[in-house]
C-alpha cells in the first residue's frame, strides 16, 4: 500500500459514505405527517362527533327560525320529540288542536342519526318519549315556542350512545333564546 508524504493512502479509491441527506429526511417526515393528519381527520380521532354536531346545529337553527316565525305570525309553535326523532307543530286556534306544520319542507319530520338518542325534561322531570306515529288529536309538543317569545321550562339532550358525548338545549336565563351547550364526556 502506497502512502503519500501527507500520510494518505493513494491505492484505494474513496468510498462514498452511506446515509441520507437532511432534505431527504425532512421530505419523508413531511409525507408521514400529512398521512397521519389525513387518517386522523377521516377517522374522527380528534374527538369531534360531526353527526351529533350537525344535528345539534340543525335543531338549534330550526328552533330559532320558529321562534322568529311565531313572533312574526302571532302563532304558537311547538317541538314534539319522539323516540328516534322530532317534528314541529303549530297550534290551530280554529280547531283548538296542535297540527303538524304543512307546506314547509324545512320543518318536516326529522330522524336522529344512528347512535344518537334524545332525552327531554319538562320543569325538571324527565318524560318518556312517545312513538313517532300519533293521531292528529294526540299531537302535543313538549317544547313550546310561544308567539310572545317566551319558552316553557325544558331541557333537551342529544347524546351519542357509544361515547356519552352530549349537547344540551335549554331556555337562556337572561333572554327568550335557547342556549346550546356541549357537555364534555367524563370517564366513569
Helix (H, G, I), strand (E, B) or coil at 64: helix
pLDDT for the residue 188: 47
Q: Please check whether residue 10 lies inside any domain of the structure.
A: no
Q: Please check whether residue 112 lies inside any domain of the structure.
A: yes
What is the pLDDT of the chain when averaged over all its residues?
84
As to burial, measured by CB atoms within 10 angstroms (0-12 exposed, 13-18 middle, 19+ buried), residue 98 is buried
Q: Please check whether residue 34 lies inside any domain of the structure.
A: no
Tally the domains of the chain: 1
Per residue, the 3-state secondary structure of 8-46, as one string, reads: CECCCCCCCCCCCCHHHHHHHHHHHHHHHHHHHHHHCCC
Identify the CA nearest to 145 among candidates 95, 73, 94, 84.
73
What is the pLDDT averaged over residues 53-79?
92
Percentages helix, strand, coil for the chain (3-state, rounded to 5) are: 30, 30, 45
Q: Please check whether residue 143 lies inside any domain of the structure.
A: yes
Q: Please check whether residue 57 lies inside any domain of the structure.
A: yes
Q: Please check whether residue 125 lies inside any domain of the structure.
A: yes
Q: Please check whether residue 14 lies inside any domain of the structure.
A: no
Q: Which residues are CB-neighbours of 142 under 8 A, at least 6 positions away?
A: 78, 79, 80, 81, 120, 122, 127, 154
What is the extent of the structural domain holding 143?
Answer: 50-183
pLDDT for the residue 31: 93
> CA-CA distance, 100 to 83, in Å (whole number)?
17
Judge contact between 177 and 150, C-beta under 8 A. Answer: no
What is the pLDDT averaged over residues 70-91?
92
What CATH number does the domain containing 147 carry? Answer: 3.55.40.10
% of the chain exceeding 90 in pLDDT: 42
How sure is the predictor about 7, in pLDDT bands with cuts at 50, 70 and 90? low
Q: Please check whether residue 33 lies inside any domain of the structure.
A: no
What is the pLDDT averaged over residues 85-107?
90
Q: Which residues are CB-neighbours of 43 under 8 A, at least 6 positions away?
A: none
Amino acid at each position: 500500500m502506497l502512502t503519500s508524504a501527507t500520510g494518505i493512502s493513494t491505492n484505494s479509491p474513496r468510498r462514498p459514505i452511506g446515509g441520507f441527506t437532511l432534505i431527504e429526511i425532512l421530505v419523508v417526515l413531511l409525507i408521514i405527517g400529512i398521512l397521519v393528519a389525513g387518517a386522523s381527520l377521516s377517522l374522527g380521532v380528534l374527538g369531534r362527533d360531526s353527526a351529533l354536531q350537525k344535528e345539534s346545529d340543525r335543531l338549534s337553527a330550526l328552533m330559532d327560525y320558529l321562534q322568529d316565525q311565531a313572533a312574526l305570525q302571532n302563532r304558537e309553535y311547538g317541538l314534539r320529540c319522539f323516540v328516534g326523532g322530532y317534528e314541529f307543530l303549530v297550534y290551530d286556534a280554529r280547531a283548538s288542536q296542535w297540527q303538524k306544520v304543512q307546506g314547509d319542507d324545512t320543518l318536516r319530520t326529522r330522524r336522529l342519526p344512528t347512535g344518537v338518542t334524545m332525552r327531554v325534561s319538562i320543569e325538571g322531570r324527565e318524560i318518556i318519549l312517545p312513538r313517532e306515529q300519533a293521531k292528529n288529536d294526540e299531537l302535543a309538543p313538549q317544547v313550546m315556542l310561544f308567539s310572545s317569545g317566551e319558552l316553557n321550562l325544558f331541557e333537551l339532550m342529544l347524546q351519542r350512545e357509544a361515547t356519552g358525548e352530549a349537547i344540551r338545549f335549554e331556555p337562556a336565563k337572561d333572554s327568550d333564546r335557547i342556549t346550546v351547550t356541549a357537555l364534555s364526556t367524563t370517564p366513569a
